[in-house]
Amino acid sequence: MSDRERRVLESIEQELRRSDPQLVRRFARLGRRRLTGSTVLLAVGLVVIVLGSAILSAPVAILGMGIAGVALVSAYHHELGFGFPGRT
């Protein structure tokens, strides 16, 4: 990026901070998210689904769906989950 482009981008960021601080805070929170147990469990479930599909094993793919389902339910019921709408 050129110096001019950086200055323009910086001025846009400053204007956004001034005009909509709530939006800036919302985006700042996105960068601070941590991996939770539910997130890891969902990733494992998805890997198992893909593995079951790759080896053409329905029971393995179904197991992966079950793991992913448990992860989603767990995330919904925990405050540090995926942050579904309506949950804090």
Per-residue pLDDT for 85 more than 80? Answer: no
Q: Domain ranges for the chain, please list them.
A: 1-32, 34-88
Using the predicted structure, report yes or no on whether residue 88 has a pLDDT greater than 50: no
Between these two residues, 64 and 84, which has the higher pLDDT value? Answer: 64
For residue range 25-77, what is the model confidence (pLDDT) as tens digits? 877 776 666 667 888 888 999 999 999 989 989 999 999 999 999 988 887 87
Q: Is the pTM of this model over 0.75?
A: no
Listed in sequence order, the residues at least 6 apart from 16 whose beta carbon sits closer than 8 Å to its beta carbon are 23, 24
Range 2-10, long-range pairs (CB < 8 A, 24+ positions): none
The DSSP secondary-structure symbol of 78 reads S
Q: Which of 22, 61, 27, 24 minimizes the C-alpha distance to 45?
A: 61
